[in-house]
Amino acid sequence: MDLKFERLSAHVGARVRGFDLSAMGDSESEGALRDAMRRYKLLTFHLPNFSVDDQIKFAGMFGEISERGSGYGSAAPGKTEYVSNSRGDGTLGNGPFHYHHDHLFYERPLSALMLYGIEIPSSGTATKFRDEHGFYQSLPKETQASLEGIDALHMLDFRTDARGNTERYLRSEATEPEAPSFWRPFVWRNPQTGKPQLLLSPAIEDFRGIDRQEGFELLRALLRIGRHEDDPETTYVHHWQVGDLVVWDNIALAHARPPFDTSEARTLRRTAVL
């Protein structure tokens, strides 16, 4: 295969040209894709008629496939599940999402994620991807210093109280008495790159190294940055079309979903890699 990689932004992403599904299993091609993932952190493809089996096989090139699912109520996640507002087995179908990394509430978070576009609103829909080292570097030095030594307790089930703080919320204590949670530092050194970066999510229950209320105020300030404007150097915005496949590094990049017209069907097929 004559693979070509077209950079999408200065620090995030490449569009892959020349990829053929028949090349899955070819060690040279797979190695080139893994190298590109390390370099660009995100790869996009346009692959009409990309089947469930194709997606599972493709995801296997990047590591062990997770069967944990999103954790938000999908009927039977298995090795794939659907982020959808039109399917009965869909999950997380509507609404915007702040920048976050998936599964920070587990001791072992996901290393990579992939989404495949099946139903896309005619009015359009997007997913944003942000390099968290670049985001950290863009913060004022005094803000960077204020984040040192602070740990956050990430959690699965949460709701927001009247003050904007988050708290644990179990939908079914009988079936899930202990939703997963895990402590992580705000500022973390990525073991692959050795560079400092942020690990952010709105689903945080508590803090160490700072007063709890002050911790929530700091978290809200960080989440507000980039909510309406994004640095084109460190952010890539993918505008979905049917047949698009996007795979990305879930640790180096945070992702977010802007609002879209929820009266129209939106379905993406998700596969996660540990």
Q: What is the pLDDT of residue 270?
A: 95
What distance in Å separates the CA atoms of residue 91 and residue 68, rounded to the nearest whole number? 13
What distance in Å separates the CA atoms of residue 91 and residue 74, rounded to the nearest whole number? 5
Q: What is the pLDDT of residue 75?
A: 40
Q: Which amino acid is at 128?
A: K
Average confidence (pLDDT) per 10 residues, the chain, 274 residues: 92 95 86 96 96 94 85 58 93 88 93 98 96 94 94 75 46 54 94 92 90 91 75 93 98 94 96 95
Q: What is the pLDDT of residue 172?
A: 43
Task: Report the half-sphere exposure of 113 (CA within 13 A, side-chain side).
Answer: 24
Domain span at residue 136?
1-274
CATH number at residue 101: 3.60.130.10
Length of the chain: 274
Sequence-separated (6 or more) residues with CB below 8 Å from residue 24: 30, 54, 57, 58, 61
Order the strands of the 151-155 sheet from edge to edge: 181-185, 151-155, 204-208
Sequence-separated (6 or more) residues with CB below 8 Å from residue 263: none
**Which residue in 200, 79, 74, 40 sits closest to 136, CA to CA?**
200
Report the number of distinct structural domains present in the chain: 1
What distance in Å separates the CA atoms of residue 155 and residue 64, rounded to the nearest whole number? 23
Report the C-alpha dihedral over residues 233, 8, 256, 30, rounded to 10 degrees. Answer: -130
Sequence-separated (6 or more) residues with CB below 8 Å from residue 51: none
Q: What is the pLDDT of residue 171?
A: 46
- DSSP string for residues in the chain: ---EEEESSSSS-EEEES--GGGTT-HHHHHHHHHHHHHHSEEEEE-TT--HHHHHHHHGGGSPEE-S--SS--S--TT-EEEESSSTT-BS-SS-EEEE-TTTTSSS--SEEEEEEEE--TT--EEEEEEHHHHHHHS-HHHHHHHTT-EEEEESSEEE-TTS-EEE--S-TTT-SS--EEEEESEEE-TTT--EEE---S-EEEEESS-HHHHHHHHHHHHHTTSS---TTTEEEEE--TTEEEEEETTTEEEEE----TTS--EEEEEEE-
pTM: 0.90
